[in-house]
Chain A
Amino acid sequence: MASDDLWILGIHMTKFGKHTDLDVIDLASEAAMGALADGGVTMADMGVLAAGCLMQANAPIGQMLQKQIGQTGIPVYNVSNACATGATALRVAAMAVKAGEADFGLAVGVEKLAGAGLLAGGSRKDDAPTWTPKGRYGAVAPVDGRIGTEIMPGVFAQIGMEYGHRYGGTSFELFARISEKNHAHSTLNPLAAYQKRFTLEEIMGDLMIAYPNTRPMCSANTDGAAAVVVTSGAKLRTLSLEQQRRAVKVSASILTSDPWTESCQVLPDVNTLTRNAATAAYEASGVSPADLDLVELHDCFATAELVHYDNLMLCPDGGAVDFFESGAPFRDGRLPVNVSGGLQSKGHPIAATGIANIWEVATHLRGEAGDRQIEGAKVGLAHVIGLGSACGVHILEKAAV
């Protein structure tokens, strides 16, 4: 291992779901202590802590965590980057290690979301008694529902439909079948919030939220946390053979924002920044899409998964429908996607998601994924996207030791 390589030494995710008796600090503590124990290190070893909790983005979540598990005086960075908050925390810890400012870094993402409804567009202000232009569009009244939609299931529905318009081949049923795949995968994941298999008819016949996304095609609001300890190759060499054997190489750790494209301020462009992140990640790692053994991608809605097959270059340009129809992204297919069950069944505790996806891939690379193990997995990719937008792509490789 090269001295300046970046390694995951320890990683942990909590069960996703409803944790009635645990608050965010309990969940963050469980994840952080789990990751430390998994890596065979303690808080005293950590040189930097990065933490995120989107719903409590104003709280010093990292310091609140320290006050439960170890106040060692190290620098804490509390980060907020929409659904990419966890990946952003990891990036902060990774940058500190790469810069030589810390031998070990801890990144934590946590959220309490069980029972939450629409996270955007969940309420609309009443019309004012007199029409007065306000805001950057000079609007005299709230525009959600009058000029398009602010709800995420509707935004991502349009993103999937736009792909269908450009390349053809999409349908309500196709998007529902993507969801059917992920729910089927979830039955093997004991940490998933929902481990229920749905028939296609059940998915298509369920409550319509925003066509073509029905309720089971939307990510599940759940509680949960995930944490990761990273270190350098130089430091890893000084650790035990067992630690070296279970360490997972971070071959690429990339974060992008959305560059300007013609329609990006009308409908968020989740494509370009994902493609840019993937391109940078493949270049940094020397890994090509054909080398991947599994992918965890950000299926916040069934309509989103389709476009990311293409954005992550798992298929030729415009080939996402064919890629799905070939059976490739099923767990017994050529390139399994979201064997965790994805966000629709595993759950989407926002700030935890960008570390939990890395936990899933790392667990397969370590050969520790139990019933859902992808046999012989050596290389994997984890993708997360937060609207606004931010995209994290990590490429992970099994240790050669």
Chain B
Amino acid sequence: MTATIPLVDYLVLGDQPHLEAHECEACGARFFDRRNACAHCSGTTFRPAAIPTEGEVRAFTIVAFAAPGIDVPYVAAVVDCAGTSVRANLINVAPDPEHVHLGMKVRLATYPVGADSDGTEAIGFGFEPIS
């Protein structure tokens, strides 16, 4: 079986792929990056919090013009996962305003980004429509 690695460390792979945030133990604020302290309350202790894998598109754009090497068009979005906002692309959907709309229900999905020189496959994530 091919070795895999997540595109970012807050993507947890396995049987039930999901995102995991650092949740401030004092105030509950959630962050996806490595933390020094909480931006909301300055607390310094965090616990892992699994983010629900289903959500609703709160904002999106269809990027048609990007840096060389980035395939366009693609859909960049903010997904509200039961109160936690997540930045992601919308995938497995046609990148046009007829198929993507505000408020659409989506779920987390993973996809292979590519293999490196050692054959390790990086796995990315996006959100796809719940049909």
Contact = CB atoms under 8 A, between A and B. Distances in A.
Contacts of B62: 208, 210-211
Contacts of B53: none
Interface in A261-280: 262-263, 265-267
B60 A158 contact: yes
Interface in A102-158: 118, 121-124, 126-131, 133, 136-141, 143-149, 151, 153-155, 157-158
Contacts of B69: 124, 126
A207 B10 contact: no
B68 interface: yes
Contacts of A130: 116-118, 120
Given A162-B58, A263-B78, A267-B87, A210 B64 contact: yes
Contact of A151 (B39, B63, B97): B63
Interface string A81-116: 000000000000000000000000000000000000
Nearest to A165: B102
Contacts of B61: 149, 153-155, 157-158, 161, 210-213
User: What does DSSP make chain A's interface, helix, strand, loop or mixed?
Assistant: loop
Given A140-B122, A266-B85, A123 B67 contact: yes
Interface string B39-76: 11000000000000000011111111111111111101
A164 interface: yes
Contacts of A145: 63, 66-67, 70-72, 74, 89
B64 A211 contact: yes
Contacts of A154: 61, 63, 76
A165 B33 contact: no
A146 B67 contact: no
Give the most central of B31, B60, B117: most A CB within 10 Å: B60
Contacts of A118: 65-67
A174 interface: no
Interface in A207-237: 207-213
B94 interface: no
Interface in B60-113: 60-74, 76-78, 83-89, 97, 102-103, 113
B9 interface: yes
A153 B71 CA distance: 17
Contacts of B86: 266
A172 B116 contact: no
A159 interface: yes
A107 to B, nearest CB: 30
Given A129-B116, A266-B85, A267-B78, A162 B59 contact: yes
B29 interface: yes
Contacts of A157: 61
Nearest to B34: A136
Contacts, number: 165
B7 interface: yes
Contacts of B5: 131, 133, 140
Interface in B1-53: 5-10, 29, 31-34, 39-40
Given A127-B114, A137-B9, A165 B89 contact: no
Contacts of A138: 6, 8-10, 34
A209 B87 contact: no
Given A137-B10, A148-B89, A211-B97, A165 B103 contact: yes
Given A130-B117, A138-B9, A211-B62, A260 B68 contact: no
Nearest to A164: B102
Nearest to B113: A141
Contacts of A141: 7, 113, 122
Contacts of B73: 211
Nearest to A207: B65
Given A148-B89, A154-B63, A211-B61, A143 B8 contact: yes
Give the most central of B7, B40, B60, B86: most A CB within 10 Å: B7
A281 to B, nearest CB: 25
A151 B65 contact: yes
B40 A260 contact: yes
Q: Which 4 A-B pairs have the closest CB atoms?
A: A138-B9, A263-B85, A145-B70, A157-B61
Given A145-B63, A151-B66, A165-B103, 10 more contacts: A130-B117, A136-B34, A139-B8, A145-B74, A158-B61, A161-B59, A161-B61, A172-B97, A207-B64, A265-B39
Interface of A: 118, 121-124, 126-131, 133, 136-141, 143-149, 151, 153-155, 157-159, 161-162, 164-165, 172, 207-213, 260, 262-263, 265-267
15 contacts: A128-B116, A131-B5, A133-B5, A141-B7, A145-B74, A146-B113, A148-B78, A151-B66, A154-B61, A165-B57, A165-B102, A208-B64, A210-B62, A262-B29, A266-B86
